[in-house]
Chain A
């Protein structure tokens, strides 16, 4: 029974994707593409939702039971070792499955409403189902190659979904950029896998203990490059803000709640490799902390609501990385879990706003379009609650996980760690409440409920569920479960008091009210411009670095290939012709020339031999 559940969890989303592929082929071949909701679309929507909702229910049913392990088949049989296609359901993967399938189900339902009038409805759901399939591969994998399958797979779906409206060149380009930046990270991942193989003689996680201790660092470093790429940490942050060009539910699911957290998952899963204290673990911690603070700071200087949320995702991912870089790795995973609720809620609410305001995403222009309807009270309230949860206010969901990270960091990194975490805690409310005040500030709240203004029931109910989960998320003591799984006992001591954290958070909310509460803004000119352009980091990386690489490549082509290599052969052919004509004119006649060339050739060959 349990193994049947396991099989269904792994393969139902794939089945959903394949059914959608058939529907899509039918739609294209029969030329039935339509902007209106039609029976094929409805069928596709129902199938897709079921393909994710059933795995969610099954994940609930196997939760808390004993570990299940299924080997489906021997994927790549090799000499002396094999790479299996299998599924491991231990506590870590069960917890991950819960939030992946749970949030996915909600977002699938929301998407039916959000995308109902899009021509690419079926393509959208095919990709979304496929994404869930690959995401599940990441969490149930037992070896580095199968996780790489999921890893590249989610990257592919993300690429296709960012560029979903491919008629806009910028959308397609953003997808391309995401894929390429991720591939650079995956280069490290591939190197890591190959290094792991040559040192341990296999690719299963369980072989980690065979790694020679002096090699652990390099393998971990290479693999962490993959993790950084997927979680957009460090220099890889570039792709995530641009990824917001995709449909908003995609941003919620892939670029906030699930895929981007895969990097954290990997570090937690391979915790023997990233064990604390070690260089690799420190590396992860520092990359995460720096990214968290810097990206939170950048989030202040952004007008696009989705990009603000993207920067907040980057910042929160940084926190998860910081947690995964301590000796209490499960804290990173804990935050992944709680974060998925409020971040998905925030994105989905911004999706509702976009629906209401003709796809406007600029936070200043939202209100100019038309005044906020009184019916949007619940969206406003949901946004407020989610923002508070993200800031880590007691007793909302974010408090528990953030608190555990702060404690873990101050335990392992002392005062330096505590101060850095307080800075990070200070920045979060700053950008979140800036967005809140500008979008929803100066509104007279009349508590009233009007689903038509909240996107309709299909879109509204998932948001409601996510907001409720953001409030009560603390009852899922993921940190505790995982802590027990990995043998951590008791409380972490010696950290910053939660009271101090709350003082910092509310101070930050207050400051943002003072600055932005009246709808004012830091000017985009002068010194402010550098900040609005994000210190020109994107331009530096994209144009000077990649631009010069491309220029170099063009140079290699036009110079090395066309002039040196081809020129060499051209020279040879001209030489042969000149000699030939010289001889021919000396001895008169074509036959002699040919004869001579034959003799020349034979001598040349004999000479070499």
Chain B
């Protein structure tokens, strides 16, 4: 049993146990354990679990720079969600615990494997606990949002599955052995003609596009994020969206380098449209959570743009690095913003911006943290968000000057909506009805936010350490794309 396998099994064990010991502390302990185990994971790990010798089917576990940060982010965020859940006012906490541990145990394998079919399985399996989390503990139109979330994501992944099966059959007919391992499939794809490859790529791309989400298949996101309970929004924005962008980097790019090289600019244009439209849509929101949800659309655009920015016929190295780093930054900053909005909502039971005014004096700690994460979101230098955005802007500028200018423009808009939110909610004269109920962060809530705030600055001031880790994974994509 090494760290990777322990990390995989532990949350599953916790989920099982939480069925019998009905307490949120089970979730707390097991997520803490998972987090500690995951810290021992090192990039460069590689292992295979043999499922059936007869048909030669095995599942590979693989850790490199692409996923290691995401694994840490996953285990870390889940731990914080459970830490907060201890003090959170929530009904049926035992089932809540079970579903979140189940979700974690489904998320981790999807980040850890290089087997496309296994990835697909967990990619879709995560929908189930999330569907219930939104549907049971959500607010407002929760059932509608849960269905919308499920249907949209599922729609995309159907085509994904078709593509995977096609590739698997191709490999079986040529190699005589069943395998969905990335390396094996890459060999198969090389023998296909361009049109087939394009269609197969489209299957991959649709699934990821819905998940990321890109415009115009993003409409599930605002509803799901807004109506989900606090922990659900944090995990949705922090990690579930990254499944799409991670899958794109890990599978779609190495499998279909020439398709991407041919059509990268279409994806780039969609991403830029997402960056700008997401920001514009965020600006017109009246609901705090909805605003942050739309900001996710905008920020995920940087990630996809960085992933596909070609300069000439070579993919830009900065773009890939920036994309991976931005996944982590977005997970931290947006996750944390959802935490804070959720905490405030719990006190006031309203998310409408117009119901608030001048709460800064009453909640200085929340104000401070909200401001810190806003800084990262708007790409203020010395926060993680800046490094990611800067690299993506560099890569966009390398690929096309107009792209570069537009992306830099998107970075300005993000300051607009978030600071406008702060202006309306935290500043201004105090409103008596809101300010009577509101209390500042409790100790546990404070503990939940502190590590995230620290990481915002650690990544921003010492990005070198993280970029060194990332480089190993970027090499992987780079190698496949520059052949």
Contact (Cβ within 8 A) A167 B463: no
B404's partner among A73, A156, A191, A558 (CB-CB below 8 A) is: A191
Contact (Cβ within 8 A) B427 A553: no
Contact with B along A139-170 (1 / 0, CB 8 A): 00000010011001100100100010011110
Contact (Cβ within 8 A) A609 B162: yes
| Alpha-carbon gap, A195 to B403, bound state (A) | 12
Q: How many residues of A contact B (CB 8 A)?
A: 51
A77-B467 in contact given A557-B281, A609-B162 (Cβ < 8 Å): yes
Contact (Cβ within 8 A) B467 A148: no
Which A-chain residue is minimally distant from B474 (CB atoms)? A79
B426 on the A face (CB < 8 A): yes
Contact (Cβ within 8 A) B429 A168: yes
Residues of B within 8 A of A569 (CB): 219
Contact (Cβ within 8 A) A169 B428: yes
Contact (Cβ within 8 A) B420 A79: no
Residues of B within 8 A of A571 (CB): none
Contact with A along B399-414 (1 / 0, CB 8 A): 0010011001101100
Residues of B within 8 A of A550 (CB): 283
B341 on the A face (CB < 8 A): no
Residues of B within 8 A of A557 (CB): 280-281, 284-285
Contact (Cβ within 8 A) A167 B361: yes
Contact (Cβ within 8 A) A76 B467: yes
Contact (Cβ within 8 A) B463 A76: yes
Residues of A within 8 A of B409 (CB): 187
A609's partner among B166, B380, B416 (CB-CB below 8 A) is: B166
Contact (Cβ within 8 A) A152 B428: no
Binds A, one of B12-20, B72-80, B101-109, B387-395: B387-395
Residues of A within 8 A of B416 (CB): 180, 183
A524 on the B face (CB < 8 A): no
- Min Cβ gap A372→B in Å is 34
B415 on the A face (CB < 8 A): yes
A548 on the B face (CB < 8 A): no
| Alpha-carbon gap, A76 to B317, bound state (A) | 14
Contact with A along B462-479 (1 / 0, CB 8 A): 111001100000000000
Q: Which of chain B's residues 409-449 have a Cβ closer than 8 Å to chain A?
A: 409, 411-412, 415-416, 419-420, 423, 426-430
B61 on the A face (CB < 8 A): no
A78-B318 in contact given A168-B429, A609-B162 (Cβ < 8 Å): yes
Binds B, one of A171-179, A231-239, A288-296, A385-393: A171-179
Contact (Cβ within 8 A) B426 A565: no
| Alpha-carbon gap, A339 to B382, bound state (A) | 31
| Alpha-carbon gap, A569 to B148, bound state (A) | 10
Contact (Cβ within 8 A) B375 A194: no
B430's partner among A152, A167, A553, A560 (CB-CB below 8 A) is: A167
| Alpha-carbon gap, A187 to B378, bound state (A) | 12
| Alpha-carbon gap, A30 to B419, bound state (A) | 28
| Alpha-carbon gap, A197 to B398, bound state (A) | 9
- Min Cβ gap A379→B in Å is 33
B280's partner among A152, A156, A198, A553 (CB-CB below 8 A) is: A553
Contact (Cβ within 8 A) A191 B405: yes
| Alpha-carbon gap, A172 to B381, bound state (A) | 22
| Alpha-carbon gap, A560 to B280, bound state (A) | 11
| Alpha-carbon gap, A148 to B382, bound state (A) | 10
A58 on the B face (CB < 8 A): no
Residues of A within 8 A of B401 (CB): 195
| Alpha-carbon gap, A550 to B280, bound state (A) | 9
Contact (Cβ within 8 A) B429 A179: no
Residues of B within 8 A of A167 (CB): 358, 361, 427-430
Chain B binding surface, main DSSP class: helix
- Min Cβ gap A565→B in Å is 5
| Alpha-carbon gap, A553 to B419, bound state (A) | 17
A28 on the B face (CB < 8 A): yes
Contact (Cβ within 8 A) B467 A28: no
Which A-chain residue is minimally distant from B381 (CB atoms)? A149
Residues of B within 8 A of A79 (CB): 317-318
Contact with A along B284-308 (1 / 0, CB 8 A): 1100000000000000000000000
A191's partner among B380, B398, B408 (CB-CB below 8 A) is: B408
Which A-chain residue is minimally distant from B426 (CB atoms)? A166
B216's partner among A78, A183, A554, A565 (CB-CB below 8 A) is: A565
A149's partner among B280, B321, B382 (CB-CB below 8 A) is: B382
Which B-chain residue is minimally distant from A74 (CB atoms)? B464
Residues of A within 8 A of B360 (CB): 166
A500 on the B face (CB < 8 A): no
Residues of B within 8 A of A609 (CB): 162, 166, 199, 203
A186 on the B face (CB < 8 A): yes
A566 on the B face (CB < 8 A): yes
Q: Which of chain B's residues 33-71 have a Cβ closer than 8 Å to chain A?
A: none
A76's partner among B277, B361, B387, B428 (CB-CB below 8 A) is: B387
Contact (Cβ within 8 A) B427 A76: no
Residues of B within 8 A of A78 (CB): 317-318, 321, 391, 467
Residues of B within 8 A of A561 (CB): 219, 281
Residues of A within 8 A of B396 (CB): 194
B365 on the A face (CB < 8 A): yes
A608 on the B face (CB < 8 A): yes
A145-B390 in contact given A28-B364, A179-B419, A605-B159 (Cβ < 8 Å): yes
| Alpha-carbon gap, A166 to B426, bound state (A) | 9
| Alpha-carbon gap, A149 to B380, bound state (A) | 8
Residues of A within 8 A of B158 (CB): 601, 605
Contact (Cβ within 8 A) B397 A180: no
- Min Cβ gap B343→A in Å is 17
Q: Which of chain A's residues 425-462 have a Cβ closer than 8 Å to chain B?
A: none
A553-B283 in contact given A148-B381, A186-B412, A198-B397 (Cβ < 8 Å): yes
Residues of A within 8 A of B462 (CB): 73
A556's partner among B216, B280, B397, B412 (CB-CB below 8 A) is: B280
Residues of A within 8 A of B357 (CB): 169
Which A-chain residue is minimally distant from B464 (CB atoms)? A77
Contact with B along A547-585 (1 / 0, CB 8 A): 000100110111011000110110000000000000000
The residue among B158, B284, B404, B429 with the most chain A CB atoms within 10 A of its own CB is: B284
Closest 3 CB pairs of A and B: A172-B427, A194-B397, A149-B381
Q: 11 A-B contacts, Cβ less than 8 Å apart?
A: A75-B463, A145-B381, A153-B382, A166-B360, A167-B358, A169-B427, A183-B416, A560-B277, A601-B158, A605-B158, A608-B199
Given A176-B420, A195-B397, A605-B159: 19 more A-B contacts, CB < 8 Å: A75-B461, A76-B390, A76-B464, A79-B317, A156-B375, A156-B380, A166-B427, A167-B427, A167-B430, A168-B429, A172-B427, A183-B416, A191-B404, A191-B408, A195-B404, A553-B284, A558-B284, A609-B199, A609-B203
